[in-house]
Amino acid sequence: MARYNFECIEGHTAGMPVRLIISGQPELAGATQSDRRRDFIERFDWMRTGIMCEPRGHEMMSGAMLVPSTRADCDTGVLYLETSGCIPMCGHATVGLTTFVIENALITPQTPGVLRLDTPAGVVEAHYVFDGTKVTEVRFVNIPSFVFAKDVEIDHPDLGLIHFDIAYGGNFYPIVESQANYRDCADYSPEELRRMAQVLVKLIPQVIDVVHPEDPNVRGVHHTMWGGAPQVGGDARGVVIATPKIIDRSPCGTGTSARVALRAARGLQDIGDVFVHESIIGTTFKGRVEEHLTLRNGTPAVRPSVEGVAYVTGRSSHFIDDEQPFYSGFLA
């Protein structure tokens, strides 16, 4: 029998849950955070499913785990955990964890006002405003984001022939926008969008192999974005589905980064422009282009930033006893 204890801070960013694991983390092997993510997936993924899935969590649960940094120039390392997997980067969780560690004095950043994070996707800088009791704003400067493929076509059984671009902002996103067989995310219920997303991510590998050009550990499409017209005064609406279950309540940080990269590639946004991205529940993130870049393989990219606000709602302790039924969690 083995019994494990995990202490967590609970909260949300723009309505999307953030469960931050601050104790009970395993020791991981690997020279980089990407390598350690792979080690976590291979040896400790039961921790993710046990803490994030039922009965300790729920199908929308998302969060992060503080781990040691592999770099001297970063304040902490982080792994991003949600019911969909241990993902390379998560924007809303970055806003949340920055808020949680600063408000609870868990980390003293090397540079005041900037929390540097060693993530599996690369170094992420989270700039925050702290009034002494509350972090009132977090703007994280993300990893290079880019358009991976344009005008991908798939015959979707629910929609017919659709086309979309695939962009990367820490995760890969097919971004489905208004066209002949799809008008607006508002035309579908959340459950219909989730079902269409589950089908789409299964069809994509049949037509294109999605692999990050600089990190082969980052591959495949697990998230989708369904676009629509703004409803609360933003510039666009986007509903992100992280298969198999998550319907993101926030506008999604990596999804916003991917959409900013796509807008920049289309000439719709440049340095200094603010893109207000709406979520399924009407909350917003502000996305910006911080600089233009070129990947090592020659792919044009941008370094985006995303701004949002998070809130602490409580603390929790979770015990995992491997003699208990469902100790590693489940999704119904």
Active site residues: 90, 252
Tokens read off for 240: 């992100």
CA distance 80 to 91: 10
Residue 268 CA from chain centroid, whole number: 23
Query: For residue 277, which of 305, 243, 311, 316 has the smallest C-alpha distance?
Result: 305
Q: How many other β-carbons are positioned within 10 Å of the β-carbon of residue 55? A: 12
DSSP β-bridge partners for residue 318: 6
- Is the bond into 244 cis (omega within 30 degrees of 0)? yes
Tokens read off for 27: 């020791």
Report residue 55: phi and psi, to 5°. -90, -5
With tokens 């233009």, the residue in question is: 292
* Residue 205 near residue 220 (C-beta atoms within 8 A): yes
* Residue 28 near residue 299 (C-beta atoms within 8 A): no
Give 38: exposed, middle or buried? Use CB within 10 Å, 0-12, 13-18, 19+.
middle
CA distance 208 to 225: 17
- Is the bond into 26 cis (omega within 30 degrees of 0)? no
Residue 324 CA from chain centroid, whole number: 31
